[in-house]
Amino acid sequence: MAVWALGINHTTAPLDLRARFAFAMDQIEPTLHALRGALTRQPEAALISTCNRTEIYCACEQPQLQHTLDWLAHSGGVSPELLRAHSYTLQDGPAARHAFRVASGLDSMVLGEPQILGQIKDAVRAAEAAGSLGSTLSQLFQRSFAVAKEVRTSTEIGAHSISMAAAAVRLAGQLFEDLGQVKVLFVGAGEMIDLCATHFAAKNPKAWPLPTAPWRVVKNWPANLAPR
């Protein structure tokens, strides 16, 4: 059984290109159905999509890397040549090792950040719901979860790891002398922007402009900091 992975991330592709291949959780199941329908023999498939990466993992008797890349390029409205220039392809052992690194936070923009593991678990559940996760990929991801746990328990990688949201607040604290005197504008509509708002709330920023879209209530946001 051949296993292959195709992906783009913060080290290989610019933001505007990554945005073309960002999939919300409710898009995962139909996207996997479309992918499997476009490839021969309906391979096992899983799709991981976060703010900094999109990766497709497949398993079948014969690898179909080129067809997978062609399909993904078409879905994002770009040429296969452009996608190939900003993507990485891995097969068999290297694909498995990459999955282990991603699950362990070793391939993240913030080294050791813990959120990626939960995002991969969500992707696996979505693949299971879509009926696209067979025994090969299931074993691959279960092993990656075990490796991630072992890495965190046997090394110091998790001792000082922080999320992207926490890293943003830390960087802002270095750029501005007093966050309590800063007005903050949040641009986005997902889990990450909620986390950023929650982390910034702890610093009691002065205010933030009223967003054009309806403001979503953020858990634990101070009552005295109403949007204005």
Q: Which residues pair with 90 in a beta bridge?
A: 5
Mean predicted confidence (pLDDT) in 43-63: 95
* 196 catalytic residue (yes or no): no
3-class DSSP assignment, residue 208: coil
- The pLDDT tens digits for 59-80 are 999 999 999 999 999 999 999 9
Structure tokens at 66: 């080129």
Residue found under tokens 């992918």: 35
- What mean pLDDT do residues 48-64 have? 95
pLDDT of residue 43: 97
- Residue bearing the bigger pLDDT, 204 or 28: 28
d(CA 208, CA 210): 7
Residue 206: predicted pLDDT: 74
pLDDT: is 53 or 113 the higher one?
53
DSSP assignment, residue 181? G
Residue 134: strand, helix, or coil? coil
**Tens of pLDDT, residues 161-209:** 566 677 777 777 778 878 888 888 777 666 667 777 777 777 778 765 5
The CATH number assigned to the domain with range 2-154 reads 3.30.460.30
Average pLDDT of the residues in 46-66: 95
The domains of the chain are located at 2-154, 162-228
Q: What is the pLDDT of residues 77-111, one digit of tens each?
A: 999 999 999 999 999 999 999 999 999 999 988 77
pTM for the whole structure: 0.76
Does the pLDDT of residue 45 top 80, yes or no? yes
Q: Tens digits of per-residue pLDDT, 142-163?
A: 999 999 999 988 987 766 556 6
Average pLDDT over the chain, rounded to an integer: 86
